[in-house]
Amino acid sequence: MNIKYIIKKDIEQALSKISDKNYKPLIMLTKNSKFGHYQVNNLIKISNSFNIKPNDLFEKIILFFKKNYMYEKINFSEPGFINIFINSSWLSEELEKIFFSPRLGIKRFSPKNIIVDYSAPNIAKEMHIGHLRSTIIGDVMARTLEFLGHNVIRANHIGDWGTQFGILIAYLKYEKLINKLQNNLLTLKDLEHIYCKSKNKYDSDEFFSKKSREYVVKLQNGDKKCHSIWKKLVYITMNENYKIYKKLNVTLKKEHTMGESTYKKMLLKIVQDLKRKKIAIEKNGTTIVYLDEFKNKSGNSMGVIVQKRDKGFLYSTTDIACLKYRYEKLHADRVIYYIDSRQHQHLLQVWIIAKKANYIPENLLLEHHMFGMMLSKNKRPFKTRDGNTIKLSDFLNEAINRAKKLILTKKPHLTHKKIIKLANTIGISAIKYADLSKNRSTNYIFDWDKMINFEGNTAPYIQYAYTRIMSILKKSTISIHKLKQKVLLNKPSEINLAIKILEFEEIILLIADKGTPHVMCKYLYELATYFSNFYEECSILFCKKIKICKSRLKLSFLTARTLKKGLNILGIKTVKKM
Ligand code: ARG
């Protein structure tokens, strides 16, 4: 149920009777229900363009407004607001519908093929803190769209192709490490170490760099030995990464891995085709696409290289091929990329080239949901004490350890096993929530102390609110699942809570559109707070009349279900006891 949307449409309908112009009324949930449950907030602005007083415009709107059962009353308040009161019997009927719906009444869409490109770590390197945002924000989007009935294709575009593999193979051979690798005796940490050393050698040793390039060619030509080494490198890396995904409660699995290597066979054809279509030209052996849409520092069209002089392909070439594949083979209707903001220009260029070459139609929905960085308290990028990037696994372990310490002080009597389990859930949830609750488009300051905190807009607060409601429900002798008694909404806190519960669909739709998990966090925080207000004002287990008890139990149960579903969309687990 999207009440805000209904109100907007009704007001728009009334405005369309008054003028041909297309006005966009701004509808808001109010903070104080004395001024209605909802408000039209931009009446002054609209009335200005009519050249009449807001109150006079209100009178006109009311003349044409189709006031149905949903509306209790509508009035005007100075200086220029329309206050809308929702009928509580109508609210009660809507709650009834969602109470018996396993999807909380949220309708399914006719399915679209939507690609969510997220996480995308690189091979032979451990995931670091820079991968967190893409991984968890992208996962929220995948879960949201899937819940709405879409066919979501999770795409983990891992960095598993390129010249670095020639260097790695050359180095593993040089250090006689191939057997160790094939016998699973090298860890990802070892590989990262080897990667650094091999790169240094490549830069300083000419013979070695020649060898490396030979291995690149061999690998590209499908040499069996090189291929099996490459496969092992990918396997060791991703094996560790899947552990991280599991720990993070992220839904990425093996079958979602569609790395750069997926498109390797397309690259040469793409370059030839771009040349044939006169989109790319060859200059001193390098193949370049010049784009008038982008200017370089000297004001000339910017060149995007798609093939180097040594015949190697680039990150852009792969992304062009990948987009072609996503449209032709995966029949994408919408492609959403979760990559940090520094790659925005790269994506725009790739999209333009793919359109120019007719690989994708003009109307394919392409979105870059970029995000800012995590900063430390001194507003610098979040790093280890010695200035290195923080490994994601170390970061997660630190969160779990901090949660464990907190649990030990609050619940020292729990068994060791329970403490570990709880610490895992609380620690990971807290990290995820701390990130997801920030507007993704900006940088944010990460603060350990604020994160694992039972107060404020944090995961523990919401999780605790959920367990508290569940324990209230447990105390009741009434079987809640089949309750026939309709919800009775009398007290303001009951009505506010009911409206908040019904707002859930609007929030989900907003995320599906914009990929902004923070609106869900804000919503869950408000829902939990509204429940607290309700709990303070209304007795749930000990009411004078049994029907009031039943009604309030039902409202509580709906709150708990909504909290749980909301957390689930965020990829955050609930716990039974805290
Ligand atoms: N592996 C890349 C990186 O670490 C991110 C890939 C994002 N996806 C894409 N289709 N380019 O920067």
Q: State the pTM of this model.
A: 0.94
Beta-strand runs (E) in 312-465 = 334-337, 365-368, 374-375, 444-445
* Average pLDDT taken over every residue of the chain: 94
Q: How confident is the model at residue 33 (pLDDT cuts 50, 70, 90)?
A: confident
- Give CA 93 to chain center in angstroms: 32
Q: What is the pLDDT of residues 231-245, one digit of tens each?
A: 999 999 999 999 999
Q: For residue 408, what pLDDT is reported?
A: 93
Say yes or no: CB of residue 157 within 6 Å of ligand 1.
yes
pLDDT digits (tens, 9 = 90+) for 321-359: 999 999 999 999 999 999 999 999 999 999 999 999 999
- CATH number for the domain whose boundaries are 3-86: 3.30.1360.70
Give 543's pLDDT tier (boundaries 50, 70, 90). Answer: confident
Q: Rounded to the nearest whole angstrom, what is the distance from the C-alpha of residue 208 to the centroid of ligand 1?
A: 28
Is residue 554 within 8 A of residue 99, CB to CB? The reply is yes
State whether the beta carbon of 122 lies less than 6 angstroms from ligand 1: yes
Please give the Cα distance from 328 to 233 (Å, whole number). 30
By alpha-carbon position, which residue is closest to atom 4 of ligand 1? 121
From the CB of 319, is ligand 1 less than 6 Å away?
Answer: yes
* Ligand 1 centroid to residue 514 C-alpha, Å: 20
Asked whether the beta carbons of 80 and 54 are under 8 A apart, the reply is yes
Does residue 1 register a pLDDT over 80? no
Query: Can you tell me which atom of ligand 1 is nearest the CA of 130?
Result: 4
Domain ranges of the chain: 3-86, 163-258
> What is the per-residue pLDDT across 242-288, written as a single tens digit (0 to 9) for each?
999 999 999 999 999 999 999 999 999 999 999 999 999 999 999 99
State the distance from the centre of ligand 1 to the C-alpha of 343, rounded, in angstroms.
8
**Ligand 1 centroid distance, CA of 158 (Å):** 7
Contact status, residue 168 vs residue 233, Cβ threshold 8 Å:
yes
* pLDDT level of residue 499 (50, 70, 90 thresholds): very high
Q: Specify the pLDDT at position 241.
A: 97
Residue nearest to atom 5 of ligand 1 (CA): 120
Average pLDDT, integer, range 58-84 = 93
Quick: pLDDT tens for 122-163: 999 999 999 999 999 999 999 999 999 999 999 999 999 988
CA distance 252 to 256: 6
Question: What pLDDT digit, counting tens, does each position of 444-472 carry?
Answer: 898 888 888 888 899 999 999 999 999 99
**Token digits for 191?**
């590989």
Phi/psi of residue 501, each to 5°?
Answer: -60, -40
Beta carbons within 8 Å of 465's beta carbon, 6+ residues apart: 528, 531, 532, 563
Region of poorest pLDDT, from 59-73, 241-255, 319-333, 554-568: 59-73
- Yes or no: say if 372 and 339 are a contact pair by the CB < 8 Å rule: no
* 543, 476 Cβ separation under 8 angstroms: no
Report the candidate in 253, 122, 248 with the shortest Cα–Cα distance to residue 192.
Answer: 122
In terms of DSSP H, where are the helices of 1-107?
A: 3-18, 43-50, 54-64, 88-99
Q: Which residue owns the Cα nearest ligand 1 atom 6?
A: 120
